């Protein structure tokens, strides 16, 4: 049993930057508990000597020549931003910030 | 002459080559069809009438010059809304990207453009491709053309429904745990998940990067092979792209032969939980393959029973990381009441912009990756992934391909599982192992279940880089089934 609690869900929501109302926390706690119970058996399956697989194919870094090439059009990109000013993304204040509740 | 919208891509190519039809006529016929039926089906989130007709005119002009054209030039295609398309709304089924106009094209879109294929529009999907019914779309569900009270599968229900409702002859999907194959199965169409890396992921809004794979959706095996060839190939913009020549999938269909082939039935992908009519049509197809000269053997892949659990730890983990970029700062929705700090704005934006299932999976992934649980959940799931790959390796050492039903049931009623995440996840039980291992698979229709008259899908699985085998087997089986039925199954839709 995973027994995930409402408080743990509140913590997860904080970590994941999701501002959830109280009733959602309780609802998600119940659902996540059911899901985690169903998948928990996975932790018992593999022996210690089984290597982990993170990718289905061998991964190799890909390089390109260090030369200038085109990039996205600045005005086109900024036209999609929620707010822009002087050719830059405009964001909410980042200093003197309170912790999200 | 057959009605234009009911023609296969292969037929459309032939009609254009003979000068009987122009791409503009074909594209207009599909746009008209969308106008008349999509109010009910809701396969499309956005129709790009002007863009599609412009490409069609370009294809016709190129043909008139006598130029050598790509095989699918002039054949329209529908695009799952998970692919970025410059200047065309791309929502990924989410409110958080409502109104977003991407400043660039996905590589698949670039390929469709260079093949002179008119892109009819963007198709509906579960939000961020999380779901098996398209009911988690923020823009309302898509309906199954076989029975509009039923789901069209998911996440790519829009692409599959567009094909089954004759609103497109071809479509692009993406498959992270079955999102091409399961919709194909429940709509009586064909869907292919290529080998991981076979089709570029550049410009595909990522769900789980180690599992995501774009691929072709069509009404016939040969059409799927043609589209697969058009979109496959090495892309330096995708570090996991396969750097090797693309096999001739169309030749594999044409020259398909199962004589002497060993086909493995996966013991773990049948039995309890599989609907009687699904099992019946599957068994009949197996008998047909045996009659065509294939040797049928039973193989056991014991770790497949743990694949679903591993998948629902790995996928949310990757998704919670991939979806961190939707923070309301650079594009998409921003929710703010004025003087809030940046973290508060992010948290409010994400709470307002993401739907229930996306929030569930983000929190599940955050949990599986968090300190104290990482080893027990994410780490162990990755080990199970190794075991699933080993099961495939052992099975393919003995068999050329493996087969199973694509899904345990036919299309279920809209609303039935929308509030029961675990029941929804169980739909993917037969499709997930392939995503974990990264090899190739195809779903094709093998009949209607006697008890509900709804399509049943058969899944063929091939080793990495052996996608051509899928087409070889599927082409032969499709031919034999159509000989038996007297016509393609899709002609029964709406009958």
CATH number at residue B145: 3.90.1300.10
Helix, strand or coil, per DSSP, at residue B79 = strand
A29 falls within a domain: yes
CA-nearest residue of chain A to B440?
A56
- Among A26, A53, A57, A64, the strongest candidate for a mutation testing the B interface, having the largest count of B CBs within 10 A, is A53
B380 falls within a domain: no
B271 falls within a domain: no
A10 falls within a domain: yes
Considering only CA atoms, give the Rg of chain B.
Answer: 21
pLDDT bin (cut points 50, 70, 90) of residue A59 is confident
B370 catalytic? Reply is: no
B218 falls within a domain: yes
A61 falls within a domain: no
Measured between beta carbons, the chain B residues lying within 8 angstroms of A91 are: 329, 342
> Residue A30: which domain range?
6-44
pLDDT bin (cut points 50, 70, 90) of residue A99 is low
Q: How far is CA B399 from CA A38, B262, B294, B404, in A?
A: 32, 5, 11, 14
Residue tagged 């309890």 (tokens): B272
In B260-390, where do the E strands start and end?
262-266, 295-299
d(CA B116, CA B393): 39
Q: Are B109 and B52 in contact (CB under 8 A)?
A: no
A87 falls within a domain: no
Give the strand order in the sheet containing B214-218.
B44-47, B119-123, B77-80, B170-174, B214-218, B190-193, B440-448, B455-462, B401-405, B262-266, B295-299
Are B364 and A36 an interchain contact pair (Cβ–Cβ within 8 Å)?
A: yes
> How many independent structural domains does chain B possess?
1
- What is the CB neighbour count within 10 angstroms for residue B413? 12
ipTM value for the complex: 0.92
B108 falls within a domain: yes
Q: Is the pLDDT of residue A61 over 90?
A: no
B429 falls within a domain: no
Closest CA to B191 of B233, B161, B167: B161
B80 catalytic? Reply is: yes
> Which tokens is B25 given?
């006529």
A27 falls within a domain: yes
> Residue B140: which domain range?
4-255+441-492
> Which tokens is B445 given?
């229709």
The CA-based angle A74-A79-A85, given to 5 degrees, is 75
d(CA A52, CA B383): 4
B189 falls within a domain: yes
Q: Is A99 an 8 Å CB contact of chain B?
A: yes
Torsion over CA of B35, B39, B40 and B42, rounded to 10 degrees? 100
Q: Is the pLDDT of residue A2 over 80?
A: no
- What is the CB neighbour count within 10 angstroms for residue B129? 30
- pLDDT one digit per residue (tens) for chain B, 495 residues: 679 999 999 999 999 999 999 999 999 999 999 999 999 999 999 999 999 999 999 999 999 999 899 999 999 999 999 999 999 999 999 999 999 999 999 999 999 999 999 999 999 999 999 999 999 999 999 999 999 999 999 999 999 999 999 999 999 999 999 999 999 999 999 999 999 999 999 999 999 999 999 999 999 999 999 999 999 999 999 999 999 999 999 999 999 999 999 999 999 999 889 999 999 999 999 999 999 999 999 999 999 999 999 999 999 999 999 999 999 999 999 999 888 999 999 999 999 999 999 999 999 999 999 988 899 899 999 999 999 999 999 999 999 999 999 999 999 999 999 989 888 999 999 999 999 999 999 999 999 999 999 999 999 999 999 999 999 999 999 999 999 999 999 999 975
Alpha carbons within 13 A on the beta-carbon side of B381: 26
The set of residues, in sequence order, having a beta carbon less than 8 Å from that of A95 and lying 6+ positions away, is none
DSSP summary character for residue B370: S
CA-nearest residue of chain B to A38?
B309
- Residue A1, pLDDT score: 45
Closest CA to B488 of B157, B190, B43: B190
Q: What length does chain A have?
A: 101
B116 falls within a domain: yes
Are A19 and B336 an interchain contact pair (Cβ–Cβ within 8 Å)?
A: no
Q: Is B483 an 8 Å CB contact of chain A?
A: no
**Terminal CA-to-CA distance of chain B, rounded, Å?**
20
> How many independent structural domains does chain A possess?
1
A23 falls within a domain: yes
Q: What length does chain B have?
A: 495
B114 falls within a domain: yes
d(CA A2, CA B133): 28
């Amino acid at each position: 049993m995973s027994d995930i609690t409402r408080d743990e869900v509140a913590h997860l929501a904080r970590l994941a930057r999701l501002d959830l109302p109280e009733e959602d926390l309780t609802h998600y706690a119940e659902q996540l508990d059911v899901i985690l119970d169903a998948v928990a058996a996975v932790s018992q399956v593999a022996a210690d000597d089984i290597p982990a697989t993170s990718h289905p194919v061998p991964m190799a870094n890909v390089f390109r020549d260090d030369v200038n090439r085109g990039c996205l059009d600045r005005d086109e990109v900024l036209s999609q931003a929620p707010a822009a000013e002087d050719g830059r993304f405009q964001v909410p204040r980042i200093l003197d910030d309170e912790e999200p509740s | 002459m057959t009605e234009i919208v009911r023609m296969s891509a292969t037929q459309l190519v032939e009609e254009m080559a003979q000068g009987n039809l122009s791409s503009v006529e074909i594209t207009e016929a599909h746009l008209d069809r969308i106008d008349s039926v999509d109010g009910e089906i809701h396969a499309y989130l956005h129709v790009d009438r002007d863009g599609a007709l412009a490409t069609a005119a370009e294809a016709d002009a190129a043909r008139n010059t006598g130029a050598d054209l790509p095989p699918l030039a002039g054949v329209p295609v529908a695009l799952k809304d998970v692919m970025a398309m410059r200047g065309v709304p791309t929502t990924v089924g989410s409110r958080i990207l409502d109104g977003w106009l991407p400043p660039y094209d996905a590589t698949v879109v670039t390929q469709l453009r260079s093949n002179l294929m008119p892109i009819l529009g963007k198709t509906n999907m579960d939000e961020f491709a999380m779901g098996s019914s398209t009911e988690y779309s923020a823009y309302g569900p898509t309906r199954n053309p076989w029975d509009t009270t039923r789901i069209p599968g998911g996440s790519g229900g829009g692409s599959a429904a567009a094909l089954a409702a004759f609103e497109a002859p071809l479509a692009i999907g993406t498959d992270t745990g079955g999102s091409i194959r399961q919709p194909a199965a429940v709509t009586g169409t064909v869907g292919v998940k290529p080998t991981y890396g076979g089709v570029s992921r550049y410009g595909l809004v990522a769900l789980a990067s180690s599992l995501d794979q774009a691929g072709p959706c069509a009404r016939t095996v040969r059409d799927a092979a043609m589209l697969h060839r058009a979109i496959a190939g090495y892309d330096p913009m995708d570090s996991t792209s396969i750097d090797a020549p693309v096999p001739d999938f169309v030749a594999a269909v044409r020259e398909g032969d199962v004589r002497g082939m060993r086909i493995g039935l996966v013991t773990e992908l049948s039995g309890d939980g599989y609907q009687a009519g699904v099992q019946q049509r599957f068994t009949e197809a197996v008998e047909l393959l045996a009659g065509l000269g294939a040797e049928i053997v039973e193989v056991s892949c014991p770790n497949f029973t743990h694949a679903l659990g591993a998948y629902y730890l790995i996928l949310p983990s990757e998704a919670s990381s991939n979806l961190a970029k939707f923070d309301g700062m650079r594009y998409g929705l921003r929710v703010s009441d004025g003087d809030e700090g940046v973290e508060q704005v992010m948290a409010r934006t994400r709470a307002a912009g993401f739907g229930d299932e996306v929030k569930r999976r983000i929190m599940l992934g955050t949990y599986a990756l968090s300190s104290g649980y990482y080893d027990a959940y994410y780490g162990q799931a990755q080990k199970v992934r190794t075991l699933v790959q080993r099961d495939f390796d052992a099975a393919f050492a003995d068999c050329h391909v493996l087969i199973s039903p694509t899904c345990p049931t036919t299309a279920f009623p809209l609303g039935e599982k929308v509030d029961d995440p675990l029941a929804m996840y169980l739909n993917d039980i037969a499709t997930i192992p392939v995503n974990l291992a990264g090899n190739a698979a195809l779903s094709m229709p093998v009949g209607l279940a006697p008890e509900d008259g709804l399509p049943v899908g058969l899944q063929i699985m091939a080793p990495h880089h052996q996608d051509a085998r899928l087409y070889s087997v599927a082409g032969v089986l499709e031919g034999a089934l159509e000989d038996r039925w007297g016509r393609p199954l899709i002609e029964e839709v709406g009958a």
